[in-house]
């Protein structure tokens, strides 16, 4: 019995009779996990579909999986998280764990105190790396909804996006306690915002708050950015998640 989960490189459907695995997933399936024909494999399509399959045939560079069951997971939480760019290993950790907890979209953004600077190519590479982190985390955790990773934006981009959300919560040590600040009866999309190491600059906080973000404190101690991201997402998930 193979217990690892794999990602279908194409969008399958409930009536799918077979799934073809190739590329990096084929390498993971055959070279790393070392499945054999006849083994049972679980495949996620990233959009809530969970497929029970049996390895039907292993080729030189593709694997053919026969589908014997399908189910659609419940709707994902309508929660997005805007995470300021930090040192690569810290951002990777935050993205991985957020994907495990469950959310709809991760929005990386450049803040005044972000430690990373780069051009268009570096930005694209960063986004690609974060997508890989999301896929790996969801496969490991079994989360069938792979959160999207947005294009790297900035404070101005966040300000333009705020109007799309029913509620926006900004992790801020000077904010109100989350238990009293968060509106539990809010319906619609929710956005959480977490700044970089050292926090957002005062002007950045003021602009976000003026645009409608509600500052919330997550406790009496100074949290690293990745810790704040997990705490805020977990709290929002408990209140607004689909369960």
- Which helix (H) or strand (E) element contains residue 6? strand 5-7
What is the domain partition of the chain in residue ranges? 5-72, 79-240
Calculate ∠ Cα 188-104-86, nearest 5°: 115
Residue 6 pairs with which residues in a beta bridge? Answer: 43
- Residuewise pLDDT in 10s, the chain (243 residues): 446 788 986 655 666 788 998 888 889 888 888 999 999 999 999 999 999 999 999 998 999 999 999 999 988 889 999 999 999 899 999 999 999 999 999 999 999 989 766 667 777 888 899 999 999 999 999 999 999 999 989 999 999 999 999 999 999 998 988 778 877 665 789 999 999 998 999 999 999 999 999 999 998 898 999 999 999 999 998 888 754
SS (H, E, C) 209-239: HHCCCEEEECCCCCCCHHHHHHHHHHHHHHH
Both tokens assigned to 169: 């919560």
CATH numeric code, 5-72: 2.40.240.20
Both tokens assigned to 65: 């999986």
Q: State phi, psi for 38 to the nearest 5 degrees.
A: 100, -15
Could you tell me whether strands 40-44 and 49-58 are parallel, antiparallel, or unpaired per DSSP bridges?
antiparallel
Q: Residue 1 burial by CB count (10 A; 0-12/13-18/19+): exposed, middle or buried?
A: exposed
- In 10 A of CB 113, how many CB atoms? 16
Task: Categorise residue 112: left if φ over 0, alpha if ψ from -120 to 50, beta otherwise.
Answer: alpha
Handedness of CA 16, 45, 42, 58 (dihedral sign): positive
- In 10 A of CB 230, how many CB atoms? 20
Homologous superfamily (CATH) of 79-240 is: SPOUT methyltransferase, trefoil knot domain (3.40.1280.10)
- Rounding to the nearest 10 degrees, give the CA dihedral for residues 234, 164, 150, 62: 80
- In 10 A of CB 2, how many CB atoms? 15
Matching fold, domains 5-72 and 79-240: no
Give every CB contact of residue 100 below 8 A, 6+ residues apart in sequence: 137, 138, 140, 141, 143
């Amino acid at each position: 019995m193979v217990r690892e989960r794999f990602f279908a490189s194409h969008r399958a459907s409930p009536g799918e009779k077979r799934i073809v695995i190739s590329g990096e997933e084929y390498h993971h399936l055959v070279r790393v996990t070392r499945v054999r024909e006849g083994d049972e494999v679980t495949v996620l399509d990233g959009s809530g579909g969970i497929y029970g399959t049996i390895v039907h045939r292993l080729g030189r560079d593709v694997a053919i999986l026969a589908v014997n069951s399908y189910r659609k997971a419940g709707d994902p939480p309508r929660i997005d998280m805007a995470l300021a760019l930090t040192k690569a290993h810290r951002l990777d950790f935050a993205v991985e764990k957020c994907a495990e907890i469950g959310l709809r979209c991760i929005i990386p953004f450049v803040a005044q105190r972000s430690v990373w600077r780069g051009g268009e190519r570096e930005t694209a590479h960063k986004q690609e790396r974060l997508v890989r982190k999301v896929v790996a985390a969801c496969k490991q955790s079994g989360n069938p909804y792979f959160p999207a990773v947005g294009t790297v934006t900035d404070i101005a981009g966040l300000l333009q996006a705020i109007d799309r959300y029913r509620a926006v919560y900004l992790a801020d040590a000077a904010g109100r306690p989350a238990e009293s600040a968060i509106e539990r009866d809010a319906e619609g999309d929710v956005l959480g915002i977490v700044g970089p190491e050292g926090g957002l600059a005062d002007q950045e906080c003021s602009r976000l708050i003026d645009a409608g973000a509600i500052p919330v404190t997550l406790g009496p101690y100074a949290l690293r950015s990745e810790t704040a991201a997990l705490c805020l997402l977990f709290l929002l998930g408990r209140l607004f998640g689909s369960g």
